[in-house]
Amino acid sequence: MSRSQHLVLIGGGHSHAIALKEWQKNPITKVKLTLITNVLQTPYSGMLPGYIAGFYRFEETHIDLKKLTQLTQTKLVLTTAIALDLIKNQVICADCAPIRFDILSIDIGSTPTLLNIVGSEYVIPAKPVPQLLEVWENLLKCVHQNPEKPISISIVGGGAGGVELALNMRSRLQTILPSHLITFHLFHRGQKLLEHHNSWVSEKLEKILREREIQVHLGETVQSIQADELDFYKINCQSNLSIKTNYIFWVTQASAPDWIKHSDLSTDSSGFILIKNTLQTLSHQHIFATGDIATMPDYPRPKAGVFAVRQGKPLVENWRNFLLNKPLKPYFPQKTYLNLIGTGDKKAIASWGNWGCQSRYCWQWKDYLDRQFMEQFT
Ligand SMILES: Cc1cc2nc3c(=O)[nH]c(=O)nc-3n(C[C@H](O)[C@H](O)[C@H](O)COP(=O)(O)OP(=O)(O)OC[C@H]3O[C@@H](n4cnc5c(N)ncnc54)[C@H](O)[C@@H]3O)c2cc1C
């Protein structure tokens, strides 16, 4: 490498956090690193429901990007990337001058899809996580101040995220309010919860939800939301089912931001960046993408933090190979992977291919793995 190079990272997601930590072990001195991030502390998805349940403190569940960038001599720019100029090789930012790059790496996650929903301004999307947590903290404050007032909460989306959120929110509220004052609804378009998991896991979770008095509405597509009386919203489904509720949390299928769709990067029909198994984009070999925002057309996988985490090490290795003009190494995502789903009672369900089980040991195992993951950043 003759001249110094600028490697710019957008988003401090799971892959970038791991890649930065690995880079520090063996940096290339002629390469300058910049991280563009819109938060200083990025959430670790595995522990987010546990934080909501009150099992963890904020610092235990968030990676401190300021500390991480200081450790790795990376320049941190606190702003939101809003566009790419791929002719000038620049990232356009919300509140600073464009940032020029030689190599770009994108790990910005995803947000739940809200397409075609009338009244979508009344919902609380599960991502960005900081906004979700702000609403949750305010909700808890209100509940503490009015311990005799009933509350109704609705979750839209019956994937792993929605189910885990419902169970963990309910379990936290139960420590403050008597059960008869709490109403919970979970809406899911499909006939089966957690469609990416085996039948035992989805049936078991449905049973647990019902046992915890969470009303599960399967085969229901939410069509519109109306502001009703003070503090109430009305959820209207295609089937004519209509339910009044105080809070609507939205945890549906992942979607990509428009600025990615409008960049010249190759994207799929949903706007996710298409990447090769070297984690380079299909359209630009000097641009890498990982985590939820990236899709490997030859290896379709659900959008889950576990893949973003796994991509961290191959990503840093291929940044290095690219910078040193060496051949890049392929990364093959695993087909079956272990999922540990917390049920809000310090138990978890383990799901692996066609196998599943629930126990306190699964929670202890999950807790151990999650804490080990976070320990590398402290
Ligand atoms: C409630 C819930 C529970 C979940 N639980 C699990 C689980 O237990 N296990 C699991 O595997 N998956 C889980 N998931 C899915 C998981 O959250 C995602 O798959 C994972 O976070 C993706 O990681 P990522 O690195 O792609 O992005 P993220 O972790 O979302 O990180 C992206 C980062 O980029 C930043 N950013 C975004 N846009 C910009 C921008 N324009 N400019 C600058 N910075 C930007 C964000 O602030 C964030 O810090 C859960 C999801 C939800 C909603």
Identify whether residues 106 and 144 lie together within a single domain.
Answer: no
Identify whether residues 131 and 233 lie together within a single domain.
Answer: yes
Tell me how many domains the chain contains: 2
Q: Residue 69 sits in a domain of what CATH number?
A: 3.50.50.60
Structure tokens that stand for 377 in this block: 């950043």
**Distance between CA atoms of residues 8 and 21, nearest Å:** 15
Residues in Cβ contact with 121 at an 8 Å cutoff, skipping those fewer than 6 apart: none
**Distance between CA atoms of residues 289 and 276, nearest Å:** 9
Q: Whose CA is nearest to atom 22 of ligand 1?
A: 305
Identify whether residues 123 and 224 lie together within a single domain.
Answer: yes
Identify whether residues 62 and 146 lie together within a single domain.
Answer: no
From the CA of 242, how far away is ligand 1's center (Å)? Answer: 31
368 falls within a domain:
no
Identify whether residues 223 and 132 lie together within a single domain.
Answer: yes
Which three-class secondary structure state does DSSP give residue 68?
helix
From the CA of 20, how far away is ligand 1's center (Å)? Answer: 17
Q: To the nearest 10°, the Cα dihedral for 282, 288, 294, 296?
A: 50
268 falls within a domain:
yes
Rounded to 5°, the CA angle 261-266-272 comes to 50
Ligand 1 pocket member 36 (CB < 6 A): yes
Task: Output helix, strand, coil percentages for the chain, rounded to the nearest 5.
Answer: 35, 30, 40
Identify whether residues 223 and 128 lie together within a single domain.
Answer: yes
Atom of ligand 1 nearest to the CA of 290: 26
CB atoms within 10 A of CB 191: 10
Ligand 1 pocket member 310 (CB < 6 A): no
Identify whether residues 91 and 210 lie together within a single domain.
Answer: no
DSSP string, 212-252: TTEEEEET--EEEEEE-STT-EEEEETTS-EEEESEEEE--
Strands 182-188 and 214-218: parallel
Ligand 1 pocket member 342 (CB < 6 A): no
Identify whether residues 119 and 228 lie together within a single domain.
Answer: yes
230, 252, 274 - which closes a domain: 252
Identify whether residues 127 and 25 lie together within a single domain.
Answer: no
From the CA of 165, how far away is ligand 1's center (Å)? Answer: 15
16 falls within a domain:
yes
216, 232, 252 - which closes a domain: 252
Give me the tens of pLDDT residue by residue for the chain, a chain 378 residues long: 668 999 999 999 999 999 999 999 999 999 999 999 999 999 999 999 999 999 999 999 999 999 999 999 999 999 999 999 999 999 999 999 999 999 999 999 999 988 779 999 999 999 999 999 999 999 999 999 999 999 999 999 999 999 999 999 999 999 999 999 999 999 999 999 999 899 999 999 999 999 999 999 999 999 999 998 888 999 999 999 999 999 999 999 999 999 999 999 999 999 999 999 999 999 999 999 999 999 999 998 989 999 999 999 999 999 999 999 999 999 999 988 899 999 999 999 999 989 999 999 999 999 999 999 999 998
Identify whether residues 75 and 143 lie together within a single domain.
Answer: no
From the CA of 108, how far away is ligand 1's center (Å)? Answer: 7
281 falls within a domain:
yes
Check residue 191 and give its pLDDT.
96
Ligand 1 pocket member 292 (CB < 6 A): yes
Q: Which residue segment(s) compose the domain that 213 sits in?
A: 114-252
Alpha helices in the chain (DSSP H): 14-25, 48-52, 58-61, 65-71, 129-145, 160-173, 199-211, 258-261, 305-323, 360-375
Which three-class secondary structure state does DSSP give residue 200?
helix
Check residue 1 and give its pLDDT.
67
DSSP state of 120: G
From the CA of 109, how far away is ligand 1's center (Å)? Answer: 5
Q: Whose CA is nearest to atom 50 of ligand 1?
A: 161
337 falls within a domain:
no
**Distance between CA atoms of residues 166 and 341, nearest Å:** 12
Identify whether residues 163 and 182 lie together within a single domain.
Answer: yes
Ligand 1 pocket member 127 (CB < 6 A): yes
Identify whether residues 207 and 293 lie together within a single domain.
Answer: no
370 falls within a domain:
no
Dihedral of alpha carbons 378, 64, 281, 116, sign: positive
From the CA of 179, how far away is ligand 1's center (Å)? Answer: 32
**Distance between CA atoms of residues 363 and 357, nearest Å:** 11
139 falls within a domain:
yes
**Distance between CA atoms of residues 259 and 141, nearest Å:** 36
182 falls within a domain:
yes
The candidate with the shortest Cα–Cα distance to 293, out of 324, 322, 265, 326, is: 265
From the CA of 295, how far away is ligand 1's center (Å)? Answer: 15
Q: Whose CA is nearest to atom 20 of ligand 1?
A: 305
323, 340, 362 - which closes a domain: 323
